[in-house]
A and B are shown apart, each in its own frame.
Chain A
């Protein structure tokens, strides 16, 4: 509670693009409310131009992040978990406000979100061994396949799980070396904004993770057709018509698309399917026995 003798310090919620916190280029904001419709805060409403700026930032971030060693990527993910742990109380209160849940449920979601980051941190230098392979071929070749990051991924976080769902979308994309532009839950964007403040102080390469707040139906079509976006994660798109339209747009530049899951259970331990979805398999034929 604010004492009478203090001036209230109101926070201006902004986007997270290229490691910085810009306002929307359009100057627009929208009101974030809790599930009872009570006002929480004004939040930046990203425009298509903001999304394009984010693509530029993500491409720059990808160029460094994808070259980082797998071991280093794991360290950075672990660092994200460390910083989130220090901000736990804020996450819990954000989730309570946004989703109107009990302190216990909010704490549970925060713990799981941090654990999820750790889970993927561990996979950073191991997933290639699991998804990759040596292949028997008929010839004097040592033939092996390894997964490589696909590039810039535009993602929509789920609307209902404002932190755990968001983390479950971001973490697998970046673990393999991709960059991500993620549109946070439109209804509950504030935990995502707190997360962006953690990311800004977690050794995450500028532009590797970009978080936009706003309306996916407005922003996603231009990202789906954008020539410099390599893949889409439509997890948070619940409208089947919009999902179909985005898939059609994405086909023009042959993007990988991961459709929205049916009844996702964010509490459950994930599989590697999200990690695999945003990788390209490279197969090498190496002469041997010559």
Chain B
């Protein structure tokens, strides 16, 4: 499990206390070593060549299904569409009851009651909050957005960071916002969306990951799915390394959610390999790794049908959401 850095993160002696002023935070982020981008891409590509077959593939597909946050985040979402998606989340393949349920459904805050009504407490309901997807609103609006979603029954909140502030170097503002939202979440789990497609560099991804974990994120999540590129293997690798380093320092396991752009079972299995090889199999659980996806589930189901029936399935044999 080699680190991609010329110097490991912990050799930089980051400040492990929550900074009372932002000096400590800025020192921590400035002290993070840069990411070797070519190395990260090469490592991700090498792990992506692993061949996972037969029983391992079957396990990987079932695990991946159980890690899916089945998502619909469209302006055209209706309570009926959300209800249909929730039924699918509970029983992804109605022709095969042995198919596991997905981990959660992910909807806009106002549709949380519609989702909760169908899923009960059988799976999690995640709501995007904080002026998703741009995050361009005042803190007051974001807090209200979060509180309303929690009050409506969401037990997971997917928030977006203020990328404008982050890119302008105003890390303190980003940090304080996450802390405030975390408080507003109460018992709900907080996933912090870094929107890595807008952060541009892997150095920024590493910085944002540390910032979010320090501020109290339970999960760090790659993307909103509204910006291309969304989740990529190298970005996820860098985030997982940050999670690993954070764990070695604090003994706290932070989850990672790869969202957007993962459409095939093959891609999903590559992510599972990267998780296993970077943070270990303790993370191969829906509590610590998730896929944010809408179309991925159908491909996983088709592959699962293929594994069980021996012949290739097609889109006619899964539901269109």
Contacts and interface: CB of A to CB of B under 8 A. Distances in A.
Nearest to B306: A227
B53 interface: no
Interface string A194-230: 0000000000000000000000000000100111110
A252 interface: yes
B312 A225 contact: yes
A222 B316 contact: no
B311 A222 contact: yes
A252 B311 contact: yes
A55 B311 contact: no
B312 A59 contact: no
Contacts, number: 30
A258 interface: no
Contact of A55 (B305, B310, B312, B316): B312
A222 B314 CA distance: 13
Contacts of B311: 222, 225-227, 249, 252-253
A228 B313 CA distance: 6
Interface string B291-321: 0000000000010010000111111110000
A55 B315 CA distance: 12
A61 to B, nearest CB: 14
A253 B305 CA distance: 13
Interface string A81-106: 00000000000000000000000000
Contact of A52 (B310, B312, B315): B312
A44 B23 CA distance: 63
Interface string A237-273: 0000000000001001100000000000000000000
Interface of B: 302, 305, 310-317
Given A52-B312, A225-B311, A226-B312, 13 more contacts: A59-B315, A222-B312, A225-B310, A226-B314, A227-B305, A227-B311, A227-B312, A227-B316, A227-B317, A228-B315, A229-B314, A249-B311, A253-B311
Closest 9 CB pairs of A and B: A228-B314, A225-B311, A227-B314, A227-B313, A226-B312, A227-B317, A227-B312, A52-B312, A226-B311
